[in-house]
Amino acid sequence: MIGDKKVLFSGMQATGSLTLGNYLGALKNWISLSDEYECFYSVVDLHSITIRQDPATLRKRARDLLTLYIAAGLDPEKNCIYYQSHVSGHTELAWILNCFTYMGELNRMTQFKDKAAKHSDNINAGLYTYPVLMAADILLYQADVVPVGNDQLQHLEITRDIAQRFNSIYGDVFTVPEPYVGKVGARIMSLQDPSKKMSKSDDNPNASIYLMDDADTVMRKFKRAVTDSEGCVAYRRQQPGIYNLIDIYCACTGKTPEETVREFDGKGYGEFKLAVGESVVDVLRPLQEKFAELSKDRAYIDGIIKKNGEKASYYALKTLRKVQKKVGFPEKIR
């Protein structure tokens, strides 16, 4: 709790390019939360290096992501938007929490197994202890709530377990976070395999719409989107490709699935795909224009990085000092 507001923490990795799924499923919904919560939105660049990164590319993507947060509508005066790597408390707390996390818990983490299978040539300790750093990210700011999808619920559960274990030994040090229950963002699936979520790491470039895709690219990808042989625009799970396209159209236009089905009754898939593509272009255009404008104002973005990094560090240090005292570290002489 900061003042009268509960604390909310979330973040995105500074790898790859954000997709339409990231925007409609998460980022778009973050914008209204600052009225209700004290929000910390991190560019989680420490997590990014569990996979080898080109340094210059990582720096650019981190800055682009922070700029995109603002371009999407997050007010940096109301929300703390910062680089994870600029707040040393994340790694300091992660080490302490490593000592309160059991090997058996980490062995059960399904994301480690998935990532290890994809990156068999680089199965490093950071990949294995990734959930502990994620726990530190959340607990460092005494977050009350964390927006999570189903694929992240396991990480929140281990965070809760670690917090409760620490609290049972040392008293009420950490707030035990709850999953954020509010407006659910649209679940956007791959355009080429609608059984999978749209992903920024998909090997097929036609599977995902990226936030910086130009209008021609967006339209081309929707023309190639997987549908089926039934030929009718219906909102049925048995037609996963069309079901996904209807979800995208509704998320971009504000229409309901029922209204969409009526609108395209008797019309072919080709016409429907064009309409979906145009609705996405209309959503992305103002975001892209704002991003381009902000990217030119280096001093403004630098100022946000400095100010919000200092704000995040202030709150992080409050928690870290309490934890260090509890575990018995000697106090610093100031």
DSSP string, 77-128: TTSEEEEGGG-THHHHHHHHHHTTS-HHHHHT-HHHHHHHHHTTT---HHHH
What is the token pair recorded at 266? 């008797």
User: What is the pLDDT of the chain when averaged over all its residues?
Assistant: 93
Contact 275/246 with Cβ under 8 angstroms? no
CB under 8 Å to 258, separation ≥6 — which residues? 235
What is the token pair recorded at 85? 């790597």
DSSP structural state of residue 188: P
**184: helix, strand or coil:** coil
pLDDT band, residue 17 (cuts 50/70/90): confident
Nearest to 89 by CA among 283, 320, 286, 330: 320
One-letter amino acid of 100: F
For tokens 């990164």, the residue is 53
- Taking the C-alpha atoms of residue 17 and residue 210, their distance in angstroms, rounded to an integer, is 6
Tens digits of residue pLDDT in 205-252: 999 999 999 999 999 999 999 999 888 999 999 999 999 999 999 999
Higher pLDDT, 109 or 162: 162
Query: Cα 253 vs. chain centroid, distance in angstroms?
Result: 23
pLDDT > 90 in the chain, percent: 77
- Rounded to 5 degrees, φ, ψ at 119 are -125, 55
Tens digits of residue pLDDT in 240-275: 999 999 999 999 999 999 999 999 999 999 999 999
What is the token pair recorded at 291? 């991003």
**Which pLDDT score, from 0 to 100, does residue 182 have?**
67
H or E segment and range at residue 333: none
CB under 8 Å to 98, separation ≥6 — which residues? 129, 132
What is the token pair recorded at 214? 């130009």
Within 10 angstroms of residue 228's Cβ, the number of other Cβ atoms is: 14
Catalytic residue numbers?
115, 197, 200
Tens digits of residue pLDDT in 48-104: 998 889 999 999 999 999 999 999 999 999 999 999 999 999 999 999 999 999 999
The CA-based diameter of the chain, rounded to the nearest angstrom, is 76
- Taking the C-alpha atoms of residue 128 and residue 104, their distance in angstroms, rounded to an integer, is 12
Contact 209/280 with Cβ under 8 angstroms? yes
Whole-prediction pTM value? 0.91
**Which pLDDT score, from 0 to 100, does residue 113 have?**
72
**213: helix, strand or coil:** coil
Encode burial over 191-211: b for 16+ CB neighbours within 10 A, e otherwise.
Answer: bbebeebbbbebeeebbbbbb
DSSP E strands, 116-270: 145-146, 178-179
